[in-house]
Amino acid sequence: MYSFEYHRPGSVAEAAQLLTGNEDAKLLAGGMTYIPTLKQRLAQPSAVIDLGGIAELKGIKEEAGGLTIGAMTTHGEVASSAAVRQAIPALAALASNIGDAQVRNRGTIGGSISNNDPAADYPAALVALGATVRTSKRELAAEDFFTGMFETALEEDEILTAVHVPKPEKAAYSKFANPASRYAIVGVFVARTSAGVRVAVTGAGPAVFRATEMEQALAGNFSAAALDNVTVAADALNSDIHASAEYRAHLVKVMAKRAVEAAG
Amino acid sequence: MKVSMSVNGKQVSGEAEPRTLLVEFLRYELGLTGTHVGCDTSQCGACVVHVNGSSVKSCTMLAVQAEGAQVTTIEGMAQGDELHPLQAAFREHHGLQCGFCTPGMIMSAADLLKTNPSPSEHEVREWLEGNICRCTGYHNIVKAILAAADTMRGAARAAE
């Protein structure tokens, strides 16, 4: 690791102040991606601003027909939260299958979605559930937050503070996991809400995307069979040593059908 | 920077740069070499310790992030000469060959048994996702953890 200054602010306002005018400073959440990045000398921040000491960023509360989850809430906390298991069991199940137990004990929802790894699980859930992302400056729809591979709508001096996830009527997530990392080779989150059906896909493309053809097919008939005649194009999908674009396209449909079945 | 924390019940402090990893602080500053560095890439779990009661990979945490925390390492598991039930079970059931992964296995298993005192074999195997052993094929590790769970449940009943 290159050397850096370390700050541990006690509030979002203090963290924002530390970021202002310090363009090479980076925020540290759970560190499950950023610390390995630092160790490989792939990043050289002037300062690391650790969000671990900010109480207002932690915790889960019921609010406005859904759940508000603080950015520094760990995957383990989401997985074991009675409120999440009761209101959105698919989200608790998703969190319980991220990485391994030790990663879940440190990794956070805010860190994960700010990193926007194309194979991360949470982006699919937040887009499918129609979640709202809250930052130190504004609120925006999850769909507008994830802008591309490892890219989000966050500005340099903006801090993600929480996500608000409305309670769905039905939802489930199905993932074909890489057996070594547990990242999604393909993950599909299906949700039916009062606004309609949403299907969000992670792992398959450069960033999370909605499978609109599937959404239309499911809107009239929420069953796995409704997806039989939907085709998934491999054109824009990822190809790597783990899976070709064609195989990923195939998996999108298989995972979507499994998710619909699991949602019931 | 000066870093202070409680390690195995003792208040300790030492010097650490912000980039010093928790595992480096434990091994080189405090001389607690029971916590191992295997892969150094957050995958193998040889470096697992408890921070504020939860198992974490100490190669993927900065020492300064543990400021003020309660840390437990493998050295804090035995009570004097009496091995922790997990340590005793690993010995009894040949849960180790070279022993390199063992501290991480035991610290990880201890975290599991805290929240799930009666895990199934499947649950133990799932939980060990983040701990890699290149000698044993895991079979005796799983057997040892299940035996320790049994012993610890017995001890908990006896204490009631």
ipTM over 0.85 threshold: yes
pLDDT at residue B135 in the model: 93
CA A152, CA A217: separation in Å to the nearest integer? 29
Please give the share of chain B, as a percent, with pLDDT higher than 90.
92
Q: Residue B7: which of B45, B18, B27, A52 has the closest Cα?
A: B27
User: Nearest chain A Cα to B47, which residue?
Assistant: A102
Q: Return the percentage of chain B with pLDDT > 70, whole number.
A: 100
Length of chain A: 264
Is residue A180 predicted with pLDDT exceeding 90?
Answer: no
Domain A1-54 identical in fold to domain A170-263: no
CB contact under 8 A, A182 and B108: no
CATH topology (fold) of A1-54: 3.30.43
- Phi–psi pair at A140, nearest 5 degrees: -145, 160
How far apart (Å, rounded) are the C-alpha atoms in residues A264 and A242? 30
Would you kindly state where each structural domain of chain A is located, as residue ranges? 1-54, 170-263
Element spanning A94, H or E: helix A89-96
Q: What backbone phi and psi angles, to 5 degrees, belong to A108? A: -120, 160
Q: How many CA atoms lie within 13 A of B92 on its CB side?
A: 15
**Chain B residues touching A93 at Cβ < 8 A:** none
Number of domains chain B contains: 2
**8 Å CB contact of B54 and A105:** yes
B157 CA to chain A: closest CA distance, Å?
26
Q: H/E/C letters for each residue in chain B? A: CEEEEEECCEEEEEECCCCCEHHHHHHHHCCCCCCCCCCCCCCCCCCEEEECCEEEEHHHCEHHHHCCCEEECHHHCCECCECCHHHHHHHHCCCCCCCCCHHHHHHHHHHHHHHCCCCCHHHHHHHHHHCCCCCCCCHHHHHHHHHHHHHHHHHHHHHC
Note the pLDDT tens digit of each residue in A43-79. 999 999 999 999 999 999 999 899 999 999 999 999 9
Place of tokens 């199940």: A93
CATH number of the domain to which B59 belongs:
3.10.20.30
The superfamily (CATH) of domain A170-263 is CO dehydrogenase flavoprotein, C-terminal domain (3.30.390.50)
CA-to-CA distance for A127 and A197, rounded, in angstroms? 11
Residue located via tokens 């966050």: A154
Find the range with the poorest average confidence among A179-183, A246-250, B54-58.
Answer: A179-183
Q: Please tell me whether residues B43 and B102 are part of one structural domain.
A: no
Q: B32 phi and psi, to 5 degrees?
A: -90, 90
A39 inside 8 A of chain B by CB:
yes
CB contact under 8 A, B42 and A48: no
Answer yes or no: do A3 and B19 touch at CB < 8 A. yes
CATH number at residue B109: 1.10.150.120
Domain range holding B50? 2-76
Contacts of B41 in chain A (CB under 8 A): 36, 39
pLDDT at B5: 98
* Mutation target among A26, A42, A46, A102 for the B interface, most CBs of B within 10 A: A102
> What's the confidence (pLDDT) of residue A175?
97
What is the secondary structure of A8-36 as a DSSP string?
--SSHHHHHHHHTT-TTEEEESS-TTHHH
Same structural domain, B72 and B6: yes
CA distance A50 to A228: 48
Tell me if A6 and B108 make a contact (CB, 8 A cut-off).
no
The answer to whether residues B111 and B67 belong to one domain is: no
Is the Cβ pair A103, B42 closer than 8 Å? yes
Domain shared by B112 and B136, yes or no: yes
> What pLDDT, in 10s, does the model give residues B32-62?
999 999 999 999 999 999 999 999 999 999 9
Pairing of strands A5-7, A151-152: unpaired
Interface check B152 vs A, CB under 8 A: no
- Under the banding of pLDDT at 50, 70 and 90, the label for residue B24 is very high
- Domain co-membership, B127 together with B90: yes
The contacts of residue A72 (CB under 8 Å, 6+ apart) are A29, A30, A51, A52, A54, A57, A58, A108, A110
